[in-house]
A and B are shown apart, each in its own frame.
Chain A
């Protein structure tokens, strides 16, 4: 199956449609909540939570013997939440910093989870296979009920977000101030964190424990490059996330044996890369272009200012001067003089130059602007 075939099948084929919808919804909800994680500088929290979910999956299987995703994901949710609150506890109750707490919980829980997985695999039970799909995810196992479940959670998440938008924004920007205004910051914090945990757990089946945090962060990091508004950022991150899901699924479905999770994450990474380079206001490319342009303008302005200094002493602004005097000025080159002529700031007659009125006014404004900036 190639990509074209995929897109013609996606609306008719039940499995493809389910998987595509599932990954799209997952991408959207992760982008939405990932924006908050990124702005709270809790990017690594997602990584810790997803790894902390692994032992929950294994324990849920050991206790119930069930392999259906809902039971296992409840286990993941519980151990994810326990991990999160331990991290919070370590940060508030001990001298350890948050990166230490995150790293500690991440590796401890993940290690314990792997231990349980190997233990399960050694058991004489035919039912054991397939748990390791939660490591890297397997979108092909998504069924319609999973997608419905994801859609409902996303809907609730969206509702809560709209309802508490003001409070979320306030907490993200200035937590101390939020407290002084009388809002219960702990409640807002737990609300955001719980939804992040929920989104991560939703994605475990599709993207897997190891790569889940990228799903959370990549669309948000990409979106931040394009806008200076929190609202637009959240919407953009959802769109980037959804598209990563769809394209990732399309590529993995059209190339046999490529697992979906990693492909989705790589597509999201491409979004990040494009955003870092091409964003008009924050992107590397335009920043470099602006930098070069500014430097050129500055050279021009310096020469113009030098000329202005000379002209200022004469009553007639168009009084001609020898080009030779400019040689005393460090920044002067023939091409800058030509550019000044092109812009109609200066006229040249023989080996004499004189400022035009436009040139004089521009130069005097230049000074005013500099003075303003110095204030």
Chain B
């Protein structure tokens, strides 16, 4: 089983002020996996994807996407930020937010046209939000807002998706809807990397996992490495999780 490496991280170190948040991370993410990044609060999970995406500047280390620097491969990558990172009272509609996913391929100054609108509508349909397209975004529920963010990333039609806690504060229905979309993405050969909090659902949702707590603890297939030993190493307490067969 020789897979392409979608994302490669070498010696990545990130620090806020003097305190290291990520320490010397080496990570290889093979193409086509649905991977969870797990770890306690403050483990640097969000920081890791933000550094890979160039939102934060690491003090050392490098990142490559399919063997090339991120700057050259931007169009292969889509990002779903944490829902709480934006002001949902911003004066705009659901459709408009999803359209923003097309801005990257449009580049500077060029306006979105019919083709971009069509793509955005399709993405809205995929996440089951088509009937809300003209809704002011503050009038959407938390789960609906999360779906809008997902649709915005889908519009980018990328190969690699980074998602920061897409299941945070969403109801069970939305969670199932989202995970189905993620599984579809994997089926289509895309690589999906998700910052995840709920350890119970890791074996059910994901096939690949990375344990992170400032340092990388372990990374690999869920069935091989998702065990009490790694959980204890990551969370620092004697962690027992019952994995259902």
Which A residues have a C-beta under 8 Å from some C-beta of B?
A: 39, 41, 95, 163-167, 169-170, 172-174, 176-177, 179-183, 224, 227-230, 232-233, 375
Q: Indicate whether A174 sits within 8 Å of B86 (C-beta atoms), given known contacts A166-B111, A179-B54, A375-B173.
A: yes
Q: Which residues 61-85 of B sit at the A interface, judged by CB distance below 8 A? A: 71, 74, 77, 79, 81, 85
B91 and A95 contact, CB distance less than 8 A:
no
Q: Which residues 175-217 of B sit at the A interface, judged by CB distance below 8 A? A: none
Bound-complex Cα distance A179 to B136 (A): 24
Listed A/B pairs (26) with beta-carbon separation below 8 Å:
A163-B109, A164-B108, A166-B106, A167-B103, A167-B108, A169-B100, A170-B103, A173-B92, A173-B100, A174-B100, A180-B54, A180-B55, A182-B104, A182-B107, A183-B103, A183-B104, A224-B91, A227-B91, A228-B91, A228-B93, A228-B136, A228-B138, A230-B90, A232-B91, A375-B171, A375-B173
Q: How near does chain A come to B240, taking the closest CB pair, in angstroms?
A: 33
Across the interface, B77 reaches (CB within 8 A) one of A164, A174, A180, namely A180
Across the interface, A176 reaches (CB within 8 A) one of B81, B90, B103, B109, namely B81
Q: Indicate whether A173 sits within 8 Å of B93 (C-beta atoms), given known contacts A166-B112, A180-B55, A182-B74.
A: no
Chain A residues closer than 8 Å to B100, beta-carbon distance: 169-170, 173-174, 177
Chain B residues closer than 8 Å to A232, beta-carbon distance: 91
**Contact of B17 with A by CB under 8 A:** yes
Which of A163, A181, A182, A224: most chain B CB closer than 10 A? A181
**Contact of B97 with A by CB under 8 A:** yes
Chain B residues closer than 8 Å to A41, beta-carbon distance: 87
Q: What count of chain B residues pass the 8 Å CB interface test?
A: 33
Bound-complex Cα distance A340 to B19 (A): 66
Q: Which residues 24-54 of B sit at the A interface, judged by CB distance below 8 A? A: 50, 53-54
Chain A residues closer than 8 Å to B17, beta-carbon distance: 95
Bound-complex Cα distance A111 to B3 (A): 65
A172 and B103 contact, CB distance less than 8 A:
no
A177 and B74 contact, CB distance less than 8 A:
no
A180 and B74 contact, CB distance less than 8 A:
yes
Chain A residues closer than 8 Å to B50, beta-carbon distance: 176
Q: How near does chain B come to A374, taking the closest CB pair, in angstroms?
A: 9
Bound-complex Cα distance A31 to B35 (A): 47
Q: Which residue of chain B lies nearest to A230 when distances are taken between CB atoms in the complex?
A: B91
Sorted from nearest, which 10 A-B pairs have the closest CB atoms? A181-B104, A228-B136, A180-B79, A182-B74, A180-B53, A176-B55, A228-B91, A174-B86, A230-B91, A173-B90
B103 and A181 contact, CB distance less than 8 A:
yes
Bound-complex Cα distance A169 to B99 (A): 12
Chain B residues closer than 8 Å to A165, beta-carbon distance: 111
Bound-complex Cα distance A229 to B136 (A): 8
Q: Which residue of chain A lies nearest to B137 when distances are taken between CB atoms in the complex?
A: A228
Across the interface, A228 reaches (CB within 8 A) one of B86, B92, B112, B173, namely B92
Bound-complex Cα distance A232 to B92 (A): 10
Which of B91, B107, B111, B112: most chain A CB closer than 10 A? B91
Q: Indicate whether A164 sits within 8 Å of B109 (C-beta atoms), given known contacts A177-B100, A224-B91.
A: yes
Known pairs A167-B103, A228-B136; list 8 more (Cβ under 8 Å): A39-B91, A164-B109, A166-B111, A173-B87, A176-B85, A177-B100, A228-B138, A375-B173
Q: How near does chain B come to A196, taking the closest CB pair, in angstroms?
A: 18
Q: Indicate whether A169 sits within 8 Å of B171 (C-beta atoms), given known contacts A181-B103, A181-B104.
A: no
Q: How near does chain A come to B6, taking the closest CB pair, in angstroms?
A: 16
Chain A residues closer than 8 Å to B173, beta-carbon distance: 375
Bound-complex Cα distance A322 to B28 (A): 74
Q: Which residues 89-144 of B sit at the A interface, judged by CB distance below 8 A? A: 90-93, 97, 100, 103-104, 106-112, 136, 138
Chain A residues closer than 8 Å to B106, beta-carbon distance: 166
Chain A residues closer than 8 Å to B81, beta-carbon distance: 174, 176-177
Q: Which residues 131-180 of B sit at the A interface, judged by CB distance below 8 A? A: 136, 138, 152, 171, 173
Q: Which residue of chain A lies nearest to B109 when distances are taken between CB atoms in the complex?
A: A163
Q: How near does chain A come to B47, taking the closest CB pair, in angstroms?
A: 12
Q: Indicate whether A173 sits within 8 Å of B104 (C-beta atoms), given known contacts A95-B17, A179-B55, A233-B91.
A: no
Chain A residues closer than 8 Å to B79, beta-carbon distance: 176-177, 180
Bound-complex Cα distance A214 to B152 (A): 36
